[in-house]
């Protein structure tokens, strides 16, 4: 018998849920994120509730402020990583202090 665990099911999140997950992953309150983005707290609340979709510049700023991958935040697709073309096994996160790559 095949179970969801055996198949490695990945839950599908809505755009609003991904925005909230990104904020919570970064350990920010809605108020702290709104300050970082330069928008009202109502804008963050409406985006996370799915009542409105933020404009792309706001989504880009959201990705930078929370440290999550922009492509995942916009599409829900996990970027390719060391575990194969379907991505890694944890939430994509940008390193706040990346090291230079080897030449």
pLDDT in tens, 32-86: 999 999 999 999 999 999 999 999 999 999 999 999 999 999 998 877 765 554 5
Q: Measure the CA–CA gap between 87 and 64, rounded to whole angstroms.
A: 20
- Contact between 22 and 63 (Cβ < 8 Å): yes
C-alpha distances in Å from residue 58, one per residue of 7, 19, 20, 65: 35, 11, 14, 10
pLDDT given for residue 53 in this prediction: 92
Architecture of domain 13-74: Orthogonal Bundle (1.10)
* pLDDT of 34: 96
Q: Is this prediction's pTM over 0.85?
A: no
Among 71, 73, 74, 64, CA closest to 94:
64
């Amino acid at each position: 018998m095949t179970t969801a665990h055996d198949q490695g099911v990945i839950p599908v999140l809505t755009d609003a849920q991904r925005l909230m997950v990104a904020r919570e992953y970064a350990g920010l309150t809605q108020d702290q994120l709104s300050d970082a983005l330069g928008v009202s707290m109502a804008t963050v609340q409406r985006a996370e509730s799915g009542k409105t979709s933020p404009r792309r510049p706001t989504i880009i700023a959201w990705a930078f402020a929370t440290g999550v991958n922009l492509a995942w935040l916009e599409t829900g697709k996990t970027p390719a990583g060391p575990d194969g073309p379907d991505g890694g096994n944890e939430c994509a996160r940008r390193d706040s202090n990346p090291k230079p790559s080897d030449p």
